[in-house]
Structure 1
Amino acid sequence: MIVSIFLRHFKIYKGINYLPISEGVGFSSIIGENGCGKSSILEALDFCFNKKGATDWPINNEAKSDGISGDNFPFIVPVFLIHKDKLRKENKQDLEQFNKAKLLSDFLWKSTFKGRGDFDKHRDELLINYDSEEYLLLFVGKKYNDPGIYFGSFHNQLTFINDKPNKIYEDSELQKYFKGFYEYINSHYSYIYIPVETDVQTYTKLETQDMQKLMDKNIQKEIENAITLKTVNQINKQLGKFVKEIEEVLEIYHYKGSHKDNLTMPDLVSKIIEAYFSIKILNKKVENSKSIPVSELSSGEKRKALIDVAYSFLIKNNDRESNIILAIDEPEASLHISNCYEQFDKLLKISKDNHQILVSTHWYGFLPIITNGSATTITKNNKNEITSTFLNLYNYRENILHSRKLHKGPLPIDYNIKSYNDLVQSIIISIMQEKPYYWIVCEGQSEKIYFDYFFEKEIKEKNLSILPVGGFKEVKKIYSYLTTPIKDPDYKINGKVFCLIDTDKERIEVSEYTKDKNLLFERLVLRKEQSILVDVNNTLMNPPTEIEDCLDPIIFYQTLQELNENYPEIRDLFLKKNLEVDEKYSANFFDLTTKEKDILKKFFDDKEGFNKILFAKKYVELAKKPFLNERSNLEWIEEIKKKLYK
């Protein structure tokens, strides 16, 4: 995937700019005020992937005034992080390019040249999580008005291309060495760019290049397979016979092609596209079996349709020849704020399905809910100088605090406040709709995995959204923000928000808590062998309870059995244990000592939360199997459903 980009003299970016985009995860956002250069990054990548021969780059005006001849030329250099097994090497030609990729990567991972601090810092952060022996770090760029490959600041430093490391090589030597390399790397990707002004009706025509990338189908090949070369020959034969009959009547006249006499396969393909596909436009199904052309939808609905189409194709088709990089300017543009969360949630799901998502946005409501993604903040001062800050959103709140320390003062935008304001505003408006949304705000990603399964019907049919926010303190913060507007009599609230946390050893006091039918805040606690829900300020705190304590015992045990090969401490724990088959919940299914319970707790409380997520996915996978599915209903889940929809 793309992890960063070097830009020089492209649109607002004067001089050499290094912009980090990702730390190797699928969702990357670029945020900032209007005119700061967010969309320019996505557009620059479009020139690299889809407009390789273009000579009409939007060059920075100041750079034009200064002159862009000689060494002062614009360039675009994306930086890729690619697992070595993802590059083709089946034939001789691909293997040669792969070996060049390895040499280039080794050089870039180990380079120590001065003056590239931003790149070095980002590279060192990548090295924390990615083994340089397994992952390739590659520059594959373009210089303005030049057909060759370009490596940015490293262009004249790639000494490995010849057997004389101290020899200064000519550019022609480098271009010869890397001939075909640019095309080789880029052929592994399909870059789809959706600008904010995209016309949805034109974009969604089946014959367009971007739609064919989404479908992972080549319309021309599909048509060729349908009509076959035999059909073309038969048409030519019959038509030729017909023309000859006409010419016999004309005697001294005959028909002759201006440059050819017969139809070719491309001729037929182009006419079929024109006659069959070009007349078909995307329609949205509505009630009573009717439909509406997308051109007649509102601006917000059109924007939503673009994401819906991309989502449908990318989620349902994982067997692709190339990796998709989907870049979207302002997915929230023209959308009612109640739909922003759903729009970003779909993009997040796409990014978790082995595709890369790049968005530029003004809506910060997604920041607190991202568990695997990044944000690059772009700011511009009154001298048009660009600066960027990179945030890994996995530890969003910690990174916000760290960024404050680095800046030794307030950030240009208080992302923490704005992100929560945007998110809460979206929630409030969504529960005020005539067909309202319902929300479960929970602590983490593992809870969401369980709830996506337990509440599958409600999610599909009753506008339920599951929102993990990263810990009980964040659930409390969301609740606090929601309290005032939901209890305001001027707001007509039709939906509900159910905030749910575990029961920890330390008691939590929520001072602003009061009972409200539209805003609930409760804890899950195991009491007298029953999993029950209590008000967040209830004094009942014993025993400490997590969601893993309140699952079906048989499915819980089967999940441990599936995982124990890789976790000997868990396997040994249950080798000699009797199962308490009459118990209703997982916490009491085994007769564990205090020490043994601590071993199990340590497994679930690993630092990164990996085991919780791994376990949750396996639990849900097993729960869906026919012989276990009938056990998957839990009383406390049914109680939440009643409280949400009564």
Structure 2
Amino acid sequence: MRISKIRIKNFRGYKGASEVEIGNLTTIVGKNDIGKSSVLEALDIFFNKKNAIVKIDKDDVNKDCLSEGDLITEIAVIFDELPASIVIDSSNETSLENEFLLNSEERLEIIKRYNNGGSEKVYIKANHPSNTNCNDLLLRTQKQLQTMIGESDIECENRTVNATMRNAIWEHYSESLELAEIEIDVTKGDTKSIYEKLEGYLPLYTLFQSDRKNSDGDSEVQDPLNKAVDQILADEEIQRSLERVAENVERKLKEVADLTVDKLSEMNPEVAESLNPIIPPSGSLKWKDVFKKVSISGDEDIPINKRGSGVKRLILLNFFRAEAERRQNDKSIPSIVYAIEEPETSQHTFHQKILIRALLALSQADNTQVLLTTHSPIIVKELNFENLRLIVFEDGGKVVKSVESGQLPYPSLNEVNFSAFNEITEEYHNELYGYIESEGHFDSFRTGRQTMEYIRERRNGTTVSEQKILTEYVRHQIHHPENTRNSRFTELHLESSIRTMRSYIENEM
């Protein structure tokens, strides 16, 4: 099962419903405090509930909605690549399609709503029968389904399997199902147990936050293996083995204690009778202390917490990946979503390239998705347009847009920043100029445009007056700041030149 889309409403900075298309690797970009982390944390709340890193509370309600009396936060996730069969009644197989649990796009859409940051109510939006004779079959008990089949004389091959009975009833009314997209409340009646089983098919969602501690005092960074010891010792088979060890030790200790008391009684029976050897139960033994010296060290036995911040974070990130994979395997969950905030944090540019390439490769693995947020142009340069989502503030609310190849035919953070924030930079001007020139279009671009005088300095110290279009004028000044014989271009000149080149690329190239 794979996330194909998420929708957030009345959550922090998101007032109206904002949708985000999700692929195998999706990277969210935008200004600081625009709501990138909120998307990842909303998913953490959706999937991990009470175990989420950040718990939902009343402060997560959008302030504008709050002032209007709207306290309902909505987080919805739409899934595709659905399992061919599922088990939601006992051990009997059925399918989401047969149970009419898919929306009009034939996807599974689960909606969670929270009243004033409180507990969740869960709904499945589905193209479901609305005929009153068969619109609530998922709420019906086995006995009620048997009664319906008997009273309407419906042919059914097996009256002990709920899924078979529901299918028979729906087939009986197949000419008048009156399908309509509705929200099915799966927190009441028998649908609650059905949804609990359906949850087992959802992906495992794991979040690695950008502000996750990586100081010397952080136990995970200080030694990831210390956390691993806790998890290993919690294993039932390991616990049974340790209990056997403890029982053997207890037996041996009792033999020694009994023998000691016997020998003491030969010398002083009165003192011996007052002694009662106490051996702590095996369950109270602190096995973790036995392994407290476990560690991962590098060259010359330098511990992790003494390495540079970038190395510490890189190790912690991969410990996070290993731990997520272990949890996935332990719980037999078929798919996994890695959500990582700002993977570039504390990383050298070379490491950033290696890291994003590794995450791209990871996203190509079966049943694996990767969600990122980033401010790094190096990471963006390694991606395709299809991997990018841009959050902007538009028409009074936040909108998440796909990034398309409108001008430059490759991902460019300069272009993203210009489109989103009207950010005017010399770097973007150089990028556009270089692209037009490299494609052999500059003579065509120059033709017919108004020129202005530019005083060029020769190497011998003399000067020459030349006529340059605005784009050339700006370009020469960017590359020859030592030439002060011309009036410096203004911010308006720079913006005008950028917009002219963008228009030319879009319409003429």
- TM category (shorter chain) comes to 0.5 to 0.7
- By how many angstroms is 1:262 displaced? 3.5
Structure 2 match to 1:292: 302
Listed one character per residue, the Cα deviations across residues 58-101 of structure 1 (whole Å, up to 9, x for unaligned) are: 51351685387xx732232222223314x764x963656x6357
Structure 2 match to 1:76: 75
**Corresponding letter in the other structure for 1:80:** F
Give distance in 2, aligned partners of 1:245 and 1:140: 68
Give distance in 2, aligned partners of 1:176 and 1:398: 53
Structure 1 match to 2:400: 388
Give distance in 2, aligned partners of 1:66 and 1:26: 38
After TM superposition, the score normalised by the length of structure 2 is 0.56
Mark the CA change 1:169 to 1:21 in structure 2 (over 3 Å): closer, same or farther.
Answer: closer
Structure 1 match to 2:122: 150
Structure 2 match to 1:412: 420
Give distance in 2, aligned partners of 1:361 and 1:263: 49
Give distance in 2, aligned partners of 1:474 and 1:316: 50
Q: Residue 46 of structure 2: which of 48, 51, 62 is its match?
A: 48
SS in 2 for 1:13: coil
- By how many angstroms is 1:221 displaced? 1.8
Mark the CA change 1:173 to 1:351 in structure 2 (over 3 Å): closer, same or farther.
Answer: closer
Give distance in 2, aligned partners of 1:3 and 1:369: 22
Listed one character per residue, the Cα deviations across residues 299-322 of structure 1 (whole Å, up to 9, x for unaligned) are: 333333334545678999998833
Listed one character per residue, the Cα deviations across residues 208-231 of structure 1 (whole Å, up to 9, x for unaligned) are: 48x99xxxx855227617825533
Give distance in 2, aligned partners of 1:419 and 1:208: 45
Q: Residue 327 of structure 1: which of 331, 339, 349 is its match?
A: 339
Give distance in 2, aligned partners of 1:237 and 1:422: 80
The correspondence of residues 354-393 of structure 1 with structure 2, limited to 5 A, is 354=366, 355-370=368-383, 373-380=386-393, 385-391=397-403
CA contact (8 A) 1:142 1:148 kept: yes
Give distance in 2, aligned partners of 1:175 and 1:422: 63
Give distance in 2, aligned partners of 1:418 and 1:101: 54
CA contact (8 A) 1:3 1:21 kept: yes
- By how many angstroms is 1:275 displaced? 3.7
Give distance in 2, aligned partners of 1:313 and 1:418: 44
- Confirm whether residue 353 of structure 1 aligns to residue 374 of structure 2: no
Structure 1: gaps of 5 or more residues: 111-131, 424-472, 481-646
Give distance in 1, aligned partners of 2:430 and 2:225: 35
Mark the CA change 1:208 to 1:312 in structure 2 (over 3 Å): closer, same or farther.
Answer: closer
Structure 2 match to 1:9: 10
- By how many angstroms is 1:247 displaced? 8.9
Q: Residue 287 of structure 2: which of 272, 285, 290 is its match?
A: 272
- By how many angstroms is 1:42 displaced? 1.0
**Corresponding letter in the other structure for 1:74:** T
Give distance in 1, aligned partners of 2:258 and 2:361: 61
**Corresponding letter in the other structure for 1:374:** N
Give distance in 2, aligned partners of 1:319 and 1:382: 45
Give distance in 2, aligned partners of 1:48 and 1:369: 30
Give distance in 2, aligned partners of 1:422 and 1:233: 75
SS in 1 for 2:391: strand
The correspondence of residues 165-180 of structure 1 with structure 2, limited to 5 A, is 171=185, 174=188, 176-179=190-193
CA contact (8 A) 2:61 2:71 kept: no
- By how many angstroms is 1:233 displaced? 3.6
Mark the CA change 1:44 to 1:273 in structure 2 (over 3 Å): closer, same or farther.
Answer: farther
CA contact (8 A) 2:74 2:113 kept: yes
Give distance in 2, aligned partners of 1:475 and 1:300: 39
The correspondence of residues 232-251 of structure 1 with structure 2, limited to 5 A, is 232-238=246-252, 251=273
**Corresponding letter in the other structure for 1:185:** E
Listed one character per residue, the Cα deviations across residues 124-152 of structure 1 (whole Å, up to 9, x for unaligned) are: xxxxxxxx5xxx53326353566555238
- Confirm whether residue 93 of structure 1 aligns to residue 90 of structure 2: yes
CA contact (8 A) 1:5 1:79 kept: yes
- By how many angstroms is 1:2 displaced? 1.9
The correspondence of residues 103-502 of structure 1 with structure 2, limited to 5 A, is 103=99, 105-106=101-102, 108-110=103-105, 132=106, 136-139=107-110, 141=112, 143-144=114-115, 149-151=121-123, 154=125, 162-163=136-137, 171=185, 174=188, 176-179=190-193, 181-182=195-196, 184-186=198-200, 188-200=202-214, 201-203=218-220, 205-206=224-225, 208=227, 220-221=234-235, 224=238, 227=241, 229-238=243-252, 251=273, 262-264=281-283, 267=284, 271-276=286-291, 278-283=292-297, 285-286=298-299, 290-309=300-319, 321-322=332-333, 323-354=335-366, 355-370=368-383, 373-380=386-393, 385-391=397-403, 411-413=419-421
Mark the CA change 1:66 to 1:417 in structure 2 (over 3 Å): closer, same or farther.
Answer: same
Listed one character per residue, the Cα deviations across residues 249-275 of structure 1 (whole Å, up to 9, x for unaligned) are: 664675889xxx8434xx55xx32354
Give distance in 2, aligned partners of 1:280 and 1:35: 40
CA contact (8 A) 1:143 1:150 kept: no
Give distance in 1, aligned partners of 2:306 and 2:408: 42
**Corresponding letter in the other structure for 1:339:** H
Mark the CA change 1:400 to 1:95 in structure 2 (over 3 Å): closer, same or farther.
Answer: farther
Structure 2 match to 1:19: 19
Mark the CA change 1:306 to 1:398 in structure 2 (over 3 Å): closer, same or farther.
Answer: same
After TM superposition, the score normalised by the length of structure 1 is 0.46
Mark the CA change 1:62 to 1:352 in structure 2 (over 3 Å): closer, same or farther.
Answer: same
Considering only CA atoms, is the larger Rg found in Structure 1 or Structure 2? Answer: 2
Give distance in 2, aligned partners of 1:373 and 1:37: 20
CA contact (8 A) 2:14 2:62 kept: no
Give distance in 2, aligned partners of 1:18 and 1:226: 50
Listed one character per residue, the Cα deviations across residues 508-559 of structure 1 (whole Å, up to 9, x for unaligned) are: xxxxxxxxxxxxxxxxxxxxxxxxxxxxxxxxxxxxxxxxxxxxxxxxxxxx
Structure 2: gaps of 5 or more residues: 138-176, 263-270, 443-509
Structure 1 match to 2:462: none
Mark the CA change 1:317 to 1:172 in structure 2 (over 3 Å): closer, same or farther.
Answer: closer
**Corresponding letter in the other structure for 1:327:** A
Mark the CA change 1:139 to 1:315 in structure 2 (over 3 Å): closer, same or farther.
Answer: closer
CA contact (8 A) 2:261 2:275 kept: yes
Q: Residue 31 of structure 1: which of 17, 29, 32 is its match?
A: 29
- By how many angstroms is 1:155 displaced? 8.9
CA contact (8 A) 1:365 1:420 kept: no
CA contact (8 A) 1:366 1:419 kept: no
SS in 2 for 1:143: strand
**Corresponding letter in the other structure for 1:18:** S
Mark the CA change 1:297 to 1:272 in structure 2 (over 3 Å): closer, same or farther.
Answer: same
SS in 2 for 1:52: helix
Mark the CA change 1:175 to 1:315 in structure 2 (over 3 Å): closer, same or farther.
Answer: closer
CA contact (8 A) 1:307 1:343 kept: no
Structure 2 match to 1:567: none
Listed one character per residue, the Cα deviations across residues 328-372 of structure 1 (whole Å, up to 9, x for unaligned) are: 110112323343222211111111123211101112334454359
CA contact (8 A) 1:315 1:353 kept: no
